[in-house]
Structure 1
Amino acid sequence: MAKAARAAQAWRVYRQVSGPGSPGFATRLRAVPKMVGAVMRGQYPGMTKGKLAMLGLGVVYIISPIDVIPDFLALIGVADDFGVFLWLMGSLLGESGRYVDWERHGGVRAFPSAAGPFPHGRRG
């Protein structure tokens, strides 16, 4: 991921978390375990198990000592981990924010129309 793309992703995440009426950072982080459980039980329609698996692979990649680009290559080796970290945090914060919103509406809120983040009623 290019430096400009990473900066843009970080900015989008910041705006999403700090927007008026939006669940805050801490609320989103606390919601992640509940969201994972709801996805695994098939109770949360906003995320598929496939998307959850991709997020899990992102976590494994970050903590794994095996990298596509070895970390001993100074900044280049750390850049791939940082790119995966930004994607992972952006995805987790975005998904958990939607989960919190869904939960606040009693778990029955219809997802946005085709113009919104769930164009087909499901995210994944």
Structure 2
Amino acid sequence: MAKAARAAQAWRTYRDVSKPGSPGLGARLRALPRMVGAVMRGEYSGMGKGKLAMMGLGVLYIISPVDIVPDFLVLIGVADDFGVFLWLMGSLLGEGGRYVDWEREKARPLHS
């Protein structure tokens, strides 16, 4: 993903998190373990296991000492980690917000 696209995604995520009535940052972060479990059990169809696996790979890439672009190439090596971090945070917060909305909708009583 290009730098501009990652920055745009980060901005959209920030706007979404700060929008009135939208799940806040804390609610989205607390929802992540529940969302992962619901996806794995097949209860939440809003996100596929493939995207969940990509997010898991993103986490592994960030914490792994092995990089595609080595960090000793200071600006470039750190930029790829930061790009993955931006994508991961945007994806996790976006999906977390959609999951919280899904939980809220599921908890609403049905009207006769």
TM-score (norm 1): 0.82
> Which residue of 2 is the match for residue 117 of structure 1?
none
Partner in structure 1 of residue 75 of structure 2: 75
Moved over 4 A (4+): none
Q: Which moved more, 1:8-17 or 1:28-37?
A: 8-17
Query: Counterparts in 2 of 1:102-121, with a 5 A limit?
Result: 102-106=102-106
1:7-43: per-residue Cα shift (whole Å, max 9, x none)? 2222111001111110000100000000000001110
Amino acid in the other structure paired with 2:56: G
Question: What's the counterpart of residue 111 of structure 1?
Answer: none
For 1:103 and 1:3, the matched residues in 2 are separated by 33
Unaligned 5+ runs, structure 2: none
Give unmatched runs, 5+ long, in structure 1.
109-124
Q: Distance in 2 between matches of 1:107 and 1:72?
A: 50
Q: Which amino acid aligns with 1:52?
A: L
CA 77–70 in structure 1, closer or farther in 2 if over 3 Å, else same: same
